Amino acid sequence: MDFLSAKLRIVSVLVGIAIAGIAVGIIALTVRLVWGFSLSVISVYFIIGVIVVIDIIQWLFSPYVISRMYRLKEINSTDMEYSWLVQLVSNVSQANKQKMPRVFIAEVNEPNAFAFGSPIAGRRMAVTRGALNILNRDELAAVIGHEMGHLRHRDVELLMAIGLIPTLIFYFGFMLLFSGNNRNNGGYIFLIAILLVAVSFVFNLMILAVNRMREAYADINAAKTVDGGAKNLQTALAKIVSSYGVQKSYNRFSRRQLNSSSSSSAGSSFSNMLMFSSAKDAEYRDYRSLLDEWKRMKPSLISTIFSDHPHPAKRIQLLERYKS
């Protein structure tokens, strides 16, 4: 593992731990301020426990929901038409020293790929029809290397775990707004509730930053484990963004699905695993001109702070360092 890979991995994990630690402190302090040590605390933690259990259940069974939403069709080595794609995934899995995931084709026109799974459903990887239409096999191998990086680094599990934290804090604040304590204590409890909702927003920004680091980590994984991975992933990303620029004018199917699947932290963790999920970055231009521009561009902080993926220019410039 090179220095940059190690740095991204360590920093993202440390930020995740910090998010969890600060969140526990905030909840504990709020319980102490509002309820003291009364029996009401039991009710609070019961509600939190129910939310956690529901979220875990969603995570365990979400692959089946995702498969239905994206009209996934499983393929294997005996498939006459797509045995080459299964072999491609197998080759990348071996290069990553990972067990091969189940392979699916998503009947979605927009080009993309994603990795997902759970202990019940197993590890899965899907490539959309749109990606198969516009990417050559070398570019697909690089995209698969990126998605394999998410599976290898257990990003779905990490992001689901820390993604639950702002949800808990938000509902904790929401619960305070309608509690009997709010009526009895007037504005004091109301201010705490509003503060908790605001804190949940800040935590969401921190989690987006963690996800951007994990995306960069997955890009590096493709560059290091797939022959020509850096160059081919650059080209694949440019083609995908260019194609989204065309698709977004008349086809919102995948975007509606993405928004729907992001309604829970488990779904949000899945959507974060997409190869590309920032429709605002889509441009209807030739992919070669996009590549040239991105290599020189310096994206502003505001252009990425609310995104779950790094700006394409940052991804291209990072991959440029690994082309040798």
Cα 137 from Cα 240, distance rounded (Å): 14
Longest dimension (CA), the chain: 70
Which residues are registered as beta bridge partners of 73?
105
Q: Hey, is 50 helix, strand or coil?
A: helix
Pairing of strands 102-106, 113-118: unpaired
Catalytic residue selected from 110, 139, 147, 215: 147
Q: What is the dihedral of CA 231, 221, 141, 89, to 10 degrees?
A: 170
Q: What is the dihedral of CA 61, 208, 212, 151, to 10 degrees?
A: -20
> How are strands ordered across the β-sheet holding 113-118?
72-75, 102-106, 122-128, 113-118
147 is catalytic: yes
Place of tokens 């960069």: 216
Query: Which active-site residues does the annotation give?
Result: 147
